[in-house]
Structure 1
């Protein structure tokens, strides 16, 4: 009996070693998500009054709310535009930084700068770029002969395009850093053998670089897609969701509902729906793209 107590089995030992990690995970992940789901079933307002259980009424209201569908559409559209855009730009930057320069550190430092800048600061920079009267973009267009300044952030389509451009500029460096690490893991002997066989640079790219880089591409796409679905800072600082609500995202709608209107119950419902959308998209990546890789 004493020997069993002194020498626990492998399963018991594994449980004891993993227990602190499971407790920490439950504390910082499981409990907040559980609390969020619990609040979504209540009419809970910080402006006053006791919490009232309403069941799935908040979800019914959300699915009939045009503001929710508008924000969801904007969020998905930003994801569809900026994720592939950041991947293409990031791949080009990664391949540029991977070239055999004698001094490559300036190029690699340039990759770090956009990633290191705060999101809100990037939004302010691009809001100034596209300012109607004092913006750099309109100043360049004026020098090229444009007669009237373009109201970039006052037009729904132009404002949306400006936001997507800012997001691609900001996030392409993150993609480039991940892809650069993948490029450095590809053996140079593969390219040397391809050159001996007479393969062109284009064929080497499609038949060596892309297949060998696919695991890094999948990781970059998963992380970037999740953050794209949570887009908040850049459109908030550039347009505040305007004109009207044409550039409002789900995260912005959740912020307005909980912070501005103090409706924690409905805001929690919107957050749960955004969480479900994120899980569906992530599951698609893991099942489809990950399996093919």
Structure 2
């Protein structure tokens, strides 16, 4: 017998890949589950568990200043909320800020995005100007505009007096203080809207505008028949993010007025902060936070339903 024949006889039969490698041969659905499992676990730890814990705490009377142990009270915190005039005032202020600043930021952001999308020779200064308001911390923006609207040495009153108008004591009047806060929020958040809309503008083919020019369509007609319809997905995404953050408004009113005069400019987030951090009433503060979370989810559901209906 030859050497080659001897080696072939001594070689064990081919049994295929080891058994432990069979788990690698997954179907599409199983592979998707394996790949998404780490992200799902992480989201459960940092989002689902805190929300469930918040809802659980809202059913207890838990005040750290009383020194008493937590006591289960059911829906008592929610019933107290319905009888709390400050809750209704801060909730109304939050809704009003949302109704004013979200459309205002959308209109200003749309104008800024259209301006930044123009064929400038050098576009980076225009687009950089969009990043500056967005990059500023909210509390810092609130401090800046609190100085702008100061009744004695603020820039706004100085401009008004130079134009022949009388200066306004902005933060002593609930209406003027609320207007100053809304203007500040619109300035701060319009750049965020502009960046999202500008990204949408970049996806619109230039060939559509060239064809419209050939057909004799003017700029206004092109905007309403080409630009605006194709921008709807970007606008909806911007509205969802902006509305949720508007319902959670805290930093700018807190830094500008502290909620004053009285509670006329206080928001629901500020009232939650007051109860949980200042008063250490974790039970009632958790119930307030649950309401704000539910309000945010309802608004998001309305937007998503509108998108699905249009599709």
Q: TM-score, normalised by structure 2?
A: 0.90
CA displacement, residues 126-173 of structure 1 (integer Å, 9 cap, x when unaligned): 1111111111111112222235x3111110011101000000000000
Aligned pairs for 1:4-83 (under 5 A) are 6-7=22-23, 9-10=26-27, 11-47=29-65, 48-83=67-102
Q: 3-state DSSP class of the match of 1:134?
A: coil
1-structure distance, mates of 2:201, 2:130? 15
Aligned pairs for 1:120-139 (under 5 A) are 120-139=139-158
Question: 1:291: how far off?
Answer: 2.8
2-structure distance, mates of 1:15, 1:65? 46
Q: Give the total of aligned pairs.
A: 291
Whether contact under 8 Å (1:218, 1:290) holds in the other structure is: no
Q: 3-state DSSP class of the match of 1:99?
A: coil
2-structure distance, mates of 1:143, 1:13? 69
Question: 1:6: how far off?
Answer: 2.3
Question: 1:5: how far off?
Answer: 7.6
Whether contact under 8 Å (1:45, 1:265) holds in the other structure is: yes
Match of 1:178 among 178, 192, 196: 196
Match of 1:98 among 91, 111, 117: 117
2-structure distance, mates of 1:282, 1:290? 12
2:294 maps to 1:241: no
1-structure distance, mates of 2:308, 2:106? 17
Q: TM-score, normalised by structure 1?
A: 0.96
2:133 maps to 1:114: yes
Q: 3-state DSSP class of the match of 1:61?
A: helix
Largest Rg, 1 or 2: 2
Q: 3-state DSSP class of the match of 2:200?
A: helix
Structure 1 gap ranges (5+): none
CA displacement, residues 235-263 of structure 1 (integer Å, 9 cap, x when unaligned): 00000001110001000000001111100
Q: 1:152 to 1:5 in 2, by over 3 A?
A: same
Structure 2 gap ranges (5+): 1-17
Question: 1:14: how far off?
Answer: 3.6
Q: CA RMSD in A?
A: 1.5
